């Protein structure tokens, strides 16, 4: 584990953090640039609010870590002040997309508004842990409430389209769990019982005949295997949620939750690890029928990162070598196919066979979040494994 720990620590603090420190801060108008090319040049000044909140969260989390650097809290505050001044459209509600100066570019789609408050809650919680300022605690709690209410709203039948299938979404309990994990660890409140309920809700998305975690289930509790929408599997997303569950299980020590989570991680690995070309497959159909999503053949940075984190945590809690083997498989792919060998940071996508076909390092959907969180999670997990088995 020492080699893994040291390599990931060097990648995080010697490569990824410096890239975003140097290139993403908008010193003129505030907030962060996320659309950065291979060398860090800005190619689009649009500011997507998920990316703003995620970067605040990540810099604040790093300041709260053993590797604390004073400038990281300054960067987090810089981003937060822009969010507070420009991003709000109502109390604890936020726009989705703004121009560089902070003018809204579009109305926030209902299903995406949920997650904006989710990421702002995480950012506010880490800032509360860093500063002790009550305004951050209050905003974290308020944003979690907004997120929970909006999730319930988008799962209600539509008056406009009464015949539309209203699916339950895996994203809702898994991100609620993630937010509560952050708030709990930052001292915003105690969420133990609520987190265990969220794990139980995630369990309902494991389809019994395939054993796979599906993104959607029918309102009555069953599954719709007669449509592409109902059969949709996003392995990286499922494994990200399972990583959150394992994080909670390490503290709760719930044996029933552990047995379920390890089984689900094992099954998702069997289904989604590409044995021929490496990496994790992206969008899949639960019955291996065709997927009409054009991104389906790609290998995506965030899915590969989140899956690798889940596999290493599963190894930590089980000691089963198959999970360590899965982690090492993704580790090899990520460091040879997604890490840029010539410039800082990682590419967002690779082709199905691992070939590179684009040059950017950040976009409206890729920022300082999944990759640094993954690297930090691996360092922390490897340390615990090393201490526990030395």
Q: Burial level of 368, CB count in 10 A (0-12/13-18/19+)?
A: buried
Instruction: Please determine, for residue 305, whether its predicted confidence score (pLDDT) is greater than 70.
Output: yes
β-bridge partners, 42: 36
Task: State residue 221's pLDDT score.
Answer: 81
| Tokens 């500063």, residue located | 131
DSSP 3-state of 104: strand
- Please list, in sequence order, all residues whose beta carbon lies within 8 angstroms of the beta carbon of residue 24, skipping any fewer than 6 positions away: 32, 33, 34, 36, 55, 362, 367, 368
DSSP 3-state of 285: strand
> How far apart (Å, rounded) are the C-alpha atoms in residues 285 and 292?
9
Q: Which CATH number fits domain 1-24+205-390: 3.40.1360.10, 1.50.10.10, 1.10.3720.10, 3.30.70.1520?
A: 1.50.10.10
> How far apart (Å, rounded) are the C-alpha atoms in residues 324 and 249?
18
* Residue in 351, 347, 370, 355 with CA at minimum distance from that of residue 38: 347
- pLDDT single digits (tens) 80-128: 999 999 999 888 889 889 999 999 997 666 556 678 999 999 999 999 9
Q: Are 272 and 340 in contact (CB under 8 A)?
A: no
Q: Are 65 and 376 in contact (CB under 8 A)?
A: yes
- Mean of the pLDDT values across residues 24-40? 98
Residue 44: phi, psi to the nearest 5?
-160, 125
Q: What is the DSSP string of 222-236?
A: ---TTSTTTTEE-HH
Q: What is the DSSP string of 179-197?
A: HHHHHHHTTS---HHHHHH
Q: The tokens of 191 are what?
A: 């969420």
Comparing 143-157, 183-197, 259-273, 370-384, the range with the smallest average pLDDT is 143-157
pTM value? Answer: 0.96
Q: Are 44 and 361 in contact (CB under 8 A)?
A: no
- pLDDT single digits (tens) 44-72: 999 999 999 999 999 999 999 999 999 99
Give residue 341's Cα distance to chain centre.
24
Q: Give long-range contacts, CB 8 A cutoff, 24+ apart: 326-335.
A: 326/269, 326/273, 329/273, 329/278, 330/273, 330/279, 330/280, 330/304, 331/4, 332/278, 333/278, 333/279, 333/299, 333/304, 334/279, 334/301, 334/304, 334/305, 334/308
Task: State residue 389's pLDDT score.
Answer: 58
Task: State residue 165's pLDDT score.
Answer: 74
Q: What is the DSSP string of 3-72?
A: HHHHHHHHHIIIIIHHHHHHHSB-TTTSSB--EE-TTS-EEE--EEHHHHHHHHHHHHHHHTSTT--HHH
* Residue in 157, 158, 154, 159 with CA at minimum distance from that of residue 175: 154
Task: State residue 293's pLDDT score.
Answer: 87
Number of other CB atoms surrounding residue 318 within 10 Å: 18
- pLDDT single digits (tens) 328-364: 999 999 999 999 999 999 999 999 999 999 999 999 9
Task: State residue 292's pLDDT score.
Answer: 87
Task: State residue 93's pLDDT score.
Answer: 86
């Amino acid at each position: 584990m020492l080699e893994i720990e040291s390599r990931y620590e060097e990648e995080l603090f010697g490569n990824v953090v410096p890239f975003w420190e140097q290139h993403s801060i908008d010193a003129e108008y505030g907030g962060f640039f996320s659309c950065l090319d291979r060398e860090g040049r800005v190619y689009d000044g649009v500011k997507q609010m998920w990316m703003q909140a995620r970067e605040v969260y990540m810099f604040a989390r790093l300041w709260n870590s053993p590797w604390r650097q004073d400038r990281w809290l300054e960067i987090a505050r810089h981003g937060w002040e822009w969010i507070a001044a420009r991003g709000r459209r109502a109390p604890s509600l936020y726009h989705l997309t703004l121009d560089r100066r902070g003018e809204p570019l579009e109305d926030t789609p209902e299903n995406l508004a949920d997650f904006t408050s989710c990421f702002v809650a995480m950012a506010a919680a880490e800032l509360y842990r860093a500063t002790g300022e009550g305004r951050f605690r209050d905003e974290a709690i308020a944003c979690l409430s907004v997120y929970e209410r909006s999730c319930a709203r988008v799962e209600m039948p539509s008056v406009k389209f009464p015949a539309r299938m209203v699916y339950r979404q895996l994203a809702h309990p898994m991100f609620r769990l993630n937010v509560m994990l952050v708030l709990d660890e930052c001292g915003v409140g105690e969420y133990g019982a609520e987190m265990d309920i969220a794990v139980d809700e995630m369990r309902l998305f494991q389809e019994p005949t395939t054993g796979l975690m599906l993104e959607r289930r029918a309102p009555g509790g069953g599954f719709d295997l007669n449509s592409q929408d109902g059969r949709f599997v996003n392995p990286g997303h499922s494994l990200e949620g399972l990583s959150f569950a394992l994080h909670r299980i390490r503290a709760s020590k719930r044996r029933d939750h552990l047995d379920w989570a390890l089984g689900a991680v094992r099954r998702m690995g069997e289904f989604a690890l590409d044995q021929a070309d490496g990496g994790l497959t992206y969008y899949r159909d639960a019955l291996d029928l065709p997927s009409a999503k054009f991104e389906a053949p790609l290998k995506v940075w965030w899915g590969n990162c989140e899956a690798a984190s889940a596999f290493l945590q599963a190894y930590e809690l089980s000691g089963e070598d198959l999970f360590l083997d899965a982690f090492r498989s993704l580790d090899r792919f990520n460091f040879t196919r997604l890490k840029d060998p010539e410039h800082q940071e990682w590419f967002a996508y690779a082709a199905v066979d691992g070939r590179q076909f684009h040059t950017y390092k950040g976009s409206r959907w890729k920022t300082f979040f999944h990759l640094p969180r993954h690297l930090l999670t691996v360092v922390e997990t490897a340390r615990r494994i090393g201490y526990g088995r030395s």
